Amino acid sequence: MAEQNHPAEVEATRPGRRALRAAQPARGGTRPAPAGARRSAGRRLAVVGVIAALVGTVSIPAFAAAGSTPEARTIQQAAFDDAQSVVVASEAKPAGLARSSYSATTADEIAKKKAEAAAAARARQASLASVQYSPVKIDLNMVGPGTGSIRWPLAKINHIGEGFGARGGEHQGVDLLTNGGTPIYAATSGTVNVSQESFGGYGVCITIDTVIGGKRVSTLYGHMRYGSRQVVHGQKVQVGQVIGLVGSTGRSTANHLHFEVIINGSHVDPLAWLRANAG
């Protein structure tokens, strides 16, 4: 009688059968998902969770605002209800606009302002023209002291005031202080260039141009008395001729003659020039 093999031995004689059974799914069941599929499912769950969290974060303030009291409303919510209003997170109140706080912007307003300015300028000119300066009677036969082509512009000087280069170089002449009404004489012969009742800060002023020793020489006489000018623009004058009277017009605080000398376009010290050249 043939010898029967033991079940374990039979099983051992089939080495690949057990492995084959382990690889096959159990009857009535499903095969387990591969590891890569499980990881993809996990990532999808994580993404869904993040989206749900974001939706909750955005929707919670909206639900809360729907039932909130006016005191709890945000600035954005108040602005949404009335898009044309501005909600400022402070107690500051806007200042009212005043006409003086802005300038003309339309063509009509600009034209009106220009017309007002022009009218004001005409009024100022008319006011100046209405001022009458009574001519001062002067003995035209008077002649300045000294001899020669250069002479002192005053016969009497009480005091020398600010000199050449004073006030940080701003003062370009010399102040010869004397009594108001003292006659002023032409320091040189020449042609009158300026003769005005108002010549900037000089007030009543005269300038005379000439040529001495081949050099262009201009002399200036400032702060003269109103109505005292005895020469006009373009007039020829002689050295020592009386041209006006000492006063305190323009930027002046006392009676004096402001005297300047310009040689070839450059200012020089008038006092030194007179002392070196006046006869």
**3-state per-residue secondary structure call for 125-178:** HHHHHHCCCCCCCCCCCCECCCCCCCCCCCCCCCEECCCCCCCCCCCCCEEEEC
Instruction: Report which of 141, 273, 139, 144 is spatially closest to residue 219, judged by C-alpha positions.
Output: 273
Query: 95 pLDDT exceeds 50?
Result: yes
* Residues 273 and 185 grouped into a single domain: yes
Assess if residue 177 is contained within a domain: yes
- Residue 244, pLDDT score: 96
Range of the domain at 54: 36-85
Residues 6 or more apart in contact with residue 22 via CB below 8 angstroms: none
* Residues 78 and 117 grouped into a single domain: no
More confident residue, 8 or 172: 172
Is-contact 74 62, C-beta < 8 A? no
Kindly indicate the confidence band of residue 119, based on its pLDDT and cuts at 50, 70 and 90: confident
Assess if residue 147 is contained within a domain: no
pLDDT (average), residues 191-205: 95
Running DSSP on this structure, what letter comes out for residue 117?
H
Domain harbouring 268, CATH code: 2.70.70.10
* Residues 117 and 199 grouped into a single domain: no
Q: What is the pLDDT of residues 227-275, one digit of tens each?
A: 999 999 999 999 999 999 999 999 998 999 999 999 999 999 999 999 9
Assess if residue 220 is contained within a domain: yes
Assess if residue 22 is contained within a domain: no
Sign of the CA dihedral with 238 first, then 240, 245, and 246 last: positive
Q: What is the pLDDT of residues 156-168, one digit of tens each?
A: 888 998 888 888 8
* Residues 265 and 170 grouped into a single domain: yes
Q: What is the pLDDT of residues 120-147, one digit of tens each?
A: 877 766 555 444 455 677 877 788 888 8
pTM over 0.75: no
Domain count across the chain: 3
